[in-house]
Amino acid sequence: MSLDHKAAKPAKSPKMSLGFLKSNLRDYAMLLALVVIMLFFQVVTNGVLLQPLNLTNLVLQNSYIIIMALGMLLVIVAGHIDLSVGSVVGFVGAMAAVMIVDYKIDTTVTVLVCLAIGGLIGAAQGYFVAFFKIPSFIVTLAGMLVFKGLSLYFLNGRSVGPFPSAFQHMSNGFIPDFLSGTLPASAELNLASLVIGTLTALALVYTNVVQRRQHQKHAYENEPLLVFYVKNILIVLSIVYLSFLMASYRGLPNVLVIMAVLITFYTFVTTRTTIGRRIYALGGNEKAARLSGIRTERLTFYTFVNMGVLAGLAGMIFAARLNTATPKAGAGFELDVIAACFIGGASASGGVGKVIGAVIGAFVMGVMNNGMSILGIGIDLQQVIKGLVLLAAVFFDVYNKAKA
Amino acid sequence: MNIILEMRGITKTFPGVKALSNVNLKVREGEIHALVGENGAGKSTLMKVLSGVYPHGTYTGDILYQGEVRRFRDISDSEHLGIIIIHQELALVPLLSIAENIFLGNEQAKNGIINWGEVYSKTAELLKKVGLKEPPSTLITNMGVGKQQLVEIAKALSKQVKLLILDEPTASLNESDSNALLELLLEFKAQGISSILISHKLNEISKVADSITVLRDGATVETLDCHAEDISEDRIIRNMVGREMADRYPKRTPKIGEPVFEVRDWQVFHPIHADREMIKKVNFHVKRGEIVGISGLMGAGRTELAMSIFGRSYGQKISGTVSLHGKTIDVSTVQKAVANGLAYVTEDRKNYGLVLNDNIMHNISLANLPGVAERGVINEMRELKVANEYRARLNIRSSSVMQQTVNLSGGNQQKVVLSKWLFSQPQVLILDEPTRGIDVGAKYEIYCIIQQLADEGKGVIVISSEMSELLGITDRIYVMNEGEFVAEMQASEGSQEKIMRAIMKLGQDKSGQQTGEMVQ
């Protein structure tokens, strides 16, 4: 960043804002790309994309990818990769189905056990990667085969379902409208959802303002005031608008709440905690991190455990959404998850990447999937286009870096 | 004597920076021409212009080589005419053999099939010329840095070199390897090969150079003919820095107290070859406010000693005790060593010291994150304050603490690493080659920081290959050779000859034999 302290003072000139955007191109370009892609599909699908029903579907369809992208981001930032997550989704989904449907085990117990299974799988793989220094590519490639095979074994080739409604709610449920009745019934609006959305937006803006104030007090580099205003207004507008849209269908999906909580949590962990900082240092230069007193092996191990738990959660959400566990569940998910991280600006060599980038990357993929399906574009062409978008995003990244 | 190379009015600009402005350089045939200047003076840029890394058209001015104006489009153009550049960071493939490396890109092949017999016999011939006795099939990774440098030179010879450019060739070499290399240059000179030698080491330059060109801030200051007049080192330094350097080492009166840090019977074995004793029951101590130097040749075991003490980061089967203020401390992991007040500033700041793609602030706090955090949550404002304090205190030149460390000069990078360890509040600092690859001005600043630390009552250990540096800034010097201390002397009573004698006395019968290199 080329900004000095002078530029950190509130700037009113649009020129300075432009300069700021230019030097932080990467951070804004992906968000811009997402907006452009959404507008594009909104137009060519004649407004179907942002119809309340479709928007809700979009969230439901991408929830498990986004949840796993959070864990994958940490793994990639630490300098590794996890190819097994798709198989783990299938395996944990299968375990959930076998436990609940075949053995009639209580839902809550099942959920907790399944999260633990995910964690154990992550621990097993992380153990080999962290302590035996076997490349993660190989360990998780092995894991991919193993867990794909195990889910086939446990399901015995069957599709197992349906799940009790409590389990389904994890994925297909909506926030109950505890404010119902305050509006005339004709409004058909889940008021609680709209209120929650609005409050979330305001809370975000509030934290941004507090942080900016604090930064200013300490002469910390800030974005120009104009950029700050525009950014926050856009945040409020889009969150309120999107929650309004969903409120006018059935409200905020439960899984969106889970996602929002996780995104907030992982953003906090990566940007504000010592453990997050250490993961970036580990990925940026493992030797320097180790000589600075960071337990690099343990840290690597934990990033894999974390990934496993999130893959387990995603596996249950996916099974709940389909209401069955099938032997083919999760196949190919790892590619979408990894692509989301790289589109979102993570570096394959480690040390670089943001949670919010991975989330935007996942939505870029998701909106394209959804939009192209609405347009009736075949799965063949969809794959080609998604592949090219991934390449273009990373090319843009590398090209930008080379120019700087 | 004929002029082999003349660079006239070379000007090269990067976006926003004028790296070279109207630089002139004249190299006579068969001479050793030294190019000196502080880091960032434009030496490397000039050599990149010459070798075609920056192709014709990206700079203004003319390159006359062997009497003709040349327009190099890339490196292969200049190599074709016998201009070979050997970079500071060696460009050898570690897991290939000497022979494979020498003929890499220039394979002795017919129709794509390599004639190994020819490769090996030619390699053997080249190795003889540079004085290497290794068989051509030796893997590069098994050789020391000094010998790798010689392989690079053999590679240059294989390309019919006429003008050899060496960028800081002795930066990572010890005294005897450096001397061997300089001898080799003199030999080449006798054979009519010209060389351009970029170096920070003035004693080497005065030993071999026929003429010296001094660059400062991207411009030629002057060219000196070493045969026409007697040139003092002070004059060169004055030209380089553009100011009078009264003394290369800051003066100080040490206030030495009781022993602070003591290492007893420290024994370490090689991390792979478990029967190879790398550190042979070493004893040493540091007193309060004292700067202790550890001198020795490359491979003497100095870095191995330091890293094995610092959290067993090197070696196996480690035994011995480390004590601080008379109490034995646990240094079995880096965390414990740091917690017990040790800090180790590595000799290799890019690979072991810094997270290069991260900024100054994050690098400074890395070894002591709890110091800027509460219950695992980082207080950004406190972190910023700390970073700004060290930036001011150590005079780290940067646009702000948000600047990525990869964009800093060597001296400023070193200051960031020092800041990191100062912030970890150590009692004892081990500084491994703290001024390697750093220009004269920044060196002086680093020396001041080191002395200031000692004056604050910390124990400081400085490992250095530059004997004059150790003699200049330390109070007491241990001489290390082949894993043990062979001499100890007060710096005021020491001299380079005395140190060398201590090493040679023991190494006489084993000279030439490869000493243990660090394996990571």
Residue of A nearest to B420 (CA): A292
Neighboring chain A residues of B352 at a CB cutoff of 8 Å? 287-288, 291
Q: What is the pLDDT of residue B2?
A: 84
Is the predicted pLDDT of residue B514 greater than 60, yes or no? no
Residue A87 CA to residue A356 CA, distance in Å, equals: 25
Residue B478 CA to residue B305 CA, distance in Å, equals: 13
A87-136 pLDDT per residue, tens: 999 999 999 999 999 999 999 999 999 999 999 999 999 999 999 999 99
Q: Is B224 on the interface with A (CB under 8 A)?
A: no
Token look-up 């080589």 returns: B65
Contacts of B129 (CB under 8 A, 6+ apart): B154, B157
Q: Tokens for B459?
A: 């124990």
DSSP secondary structure letter of residue A96: H
Residue A61 CA to residue B282 CA, distance in Å, equals: 65
Percent of chain B with pLDDT over 70: 94
Q: Which residues pair with A325 in a beta bridge?
A: A160
> For the residues B267-289, what does the mean pLDDT come to?
89
Q: What is the pLDDT of residue B167?
A: 86
Q: Tokens for B515?
A: 């000493």
Q: pLDDT band at B172, cuts 50/70/90?
A: low
Q: In Å, how far is B518's CA from the nearest CA of chain A? A: 15
Do B313 and B334 meet the contact criterion of CB atoms below 8 Å apart? yes
Closest listed residue to residue B396, CA positions, set B366, B380, B417: B417
Closest listed residue to residue A270, CA positions, set A340, A351, A362, A363: A351
The alpha-helical segments, DSSP class H, found in A24-51 are 25-44
> For the residues A345-371, what does the mean pLDDT come to?
92
Q: Output the CA–CA distances (angstroms, integers) from residue B312 to A27, A288, B305, B318, B343, in the order listed.
A: 41, 15, 9, 8, 13
B58-92 pLDDT per residue, tens: 899 999 998 889 899 988 888 889 999 888 777 88
Q: Output the CA–CA distances (angstroms, integers) from residue A393 to A24, A35, A343, A400, B197, in the order listed.
A: 15, 15, 5, 11, 44
Between chains, do A293 and B367 touch, taking CB under 8 Å as contact? yes
Q: Is B116 on the interface with A (CB under 8 A)?
A: no
Q: Which of B366, B379, B383, B407 to mutate to test the interface with A (most CBs of A within 10 A)?
A: B366
B374-412 pLDDT per residue, tens: 999 999 889 999 999 999 998 888 888 888 888 788 888
Q: Looking at per-residue confidence, does B245 or B351 come out higher? A: B351
A68-77 pLDDT per residue, tens: 999 999 999 9
Between chains, do A293 and B358 touch, taking CB under 8 Å as contact? no
Q: Which of residues 283-312 of B touch A (CB under 8 A)?
A: 310-311
Pairing of strands B32-36, B194-198: parallel
Q: Is B399 on the interface with A (CB under 8 A)?
A: yes
Between chains, do B310 and A291 touch, taking CB under 8 Å as contact? yes
Residue A308 CA to residue A147 CA, distance in Å, equals: 12
Pick B377's closest partner by Cβ from A1, A273, A294. Answer: A273
Do B411 and B446 meet the contact criterion of CB atoms below 8 Å apart? yes
Pick A284's closest partner by Cβ from B337, B355, B400. Answer: B355
Concatenated DSSP letters for B227-267? TTS---HHHHHHHHHSS--S-SS--------SEEEEEEEEE
Residue B43 CA to residue B468 CA, distance in Å, equals: 25
Q: Looking at per-residue confidence, does A400 or A314 come out higher? A: A314
Phi and psi torsions of A259, nearest 5°: -60, -50
Is the predicted pLDDT of residue B308 greater than 90, yes or no? yes
Do B243 and B208 meet the contact criterion of CB atoms below 8 Å apart? no
Residue of A nearest to B386 (CA): A218
Residue of A nearest to B364 (CA): A292
Do A134 and A325 meet the contact criterion of CB atoms below 8 Å apart? no
Between chains, do B357 and A351 touch, taking CB under 8 Å as contact? yes
Q: What is the pLDDT of residue B513?
A: 39
Residue B193 CA to residue B129 CA, distance in Å, equals: 13
Residue B96 CA to residue B67 CA, distance in Å, equals: 39
Concatenated DSSP letters for B367-406? GGGGGGEETTEE-HHHHHHHHHHHHHHTT--SS-TTSBGG
Do A387 and A339 meet the contact criterion of CB atoms below 8 Å apart? no
Residue A395 CA to residue A360 CA, distance in Å, equals: 17
Between chains, do B338 and A5 touch, taking CB under 8 Å as contact? no
Residue B66 CA to residue B63 CA, distance in Å, equals: 10
Q: Which of B332, B385, B400, B432 to mutate to test the interface with A (most CBs of A within 10 A)?
A: B400
Q: What is the CB neighbour count within 10 angstroms for residue A9?
A: 12
Q: Which of residues 172-231 of A touch B (CB under 8 A)?
A: 214, 217-218, 220-221
Report chain A's mean pLDDT, rounded to a whole number: 88
Pick A221's closest partner by Cβ from B339, B365, B402. Answer: B402
Residue B106 CA to residue A403 CA, distance in Å, equals: 32
Q: Is A292 on the interface with B (CB under 8 A)?
A: yes
Cβ-in-10-Å burial (0-12, 13-18, 19+) of A225 comes to: middle
Burial code (b: 16+ CB inside 10 Å, e: under 16) for B107-136 equals: ebeeeeeeeeeebbebbeebbebbbbebeb
Q: What is the pLDDT of residue A76?
A: 96
Q: Which of A213, A291, A299 to mutate to test the interface with B (most CBs of B within 10 A)?
A: A291
Pick A275's closest partner by Cβ from B351, B357, B376. Answer: B376
Q: What is the pLDDT of residue A324?
A: 92
A21-50 pLDDT per residue, tens: 666 776 778 888 888 999 999 999 998 998
Concatenated DSSP letters for B322-339? EEETTEE---SSHHHHHH
Neighboring chain A residues of B367 at a CB cutoff of 8 Å? 292-293
Neighboring chain B residues of A351 at a CB cutoff of 8 Å? 355, 357-358
Q: Is B354 on the interface with A (CB under 8 A)?
A: yes
Residue of A nearest to B348 (CA): A288
Cα angle A117, A121, A123 (rounded to 5 degrees) comes to 110
How many Å separate Cα A119 from the centre of its chain? 18
Residue B377 CA to residue A268 CA, distance in Å, equals: 9
Neighboring chain A residues of B357 at a CB cutoff of 8 Å? 284, 351-352
Neighboring chain A residues of B380 at a CB cutoff of 8 Å? 214, 220, 272
Q: What is the CB neighbour count within 10 angstroms for residue A189?
A: 19
B103-139 pLDDT per residue, tens: 888 888 888 888 888 899 999 999 998 888 889 999 9
Q: Which of residues 257-286 of A touch B (CB under 8 A)?
A: 272-275, 277-278, 280-281, 284-285
Closest listed residue to residue A362, CA positions, set A329, A325, A393: A393
Residue A304 CA to residue A318 CA, distance in Å, equals: 20
Q: What is the pLDDT of residue B292?
A: 95
Q: What is the pLDDT of residue A7?
A: 39
Residue B162 CA to residue B194 CA, distance in Å, equals: 6
Pick B356's closest partner by Cβ from A4, A285, A290. Answer: A285
Q: Is B209 helix (H, G, I), strand (E, B) or coil?
A: coil
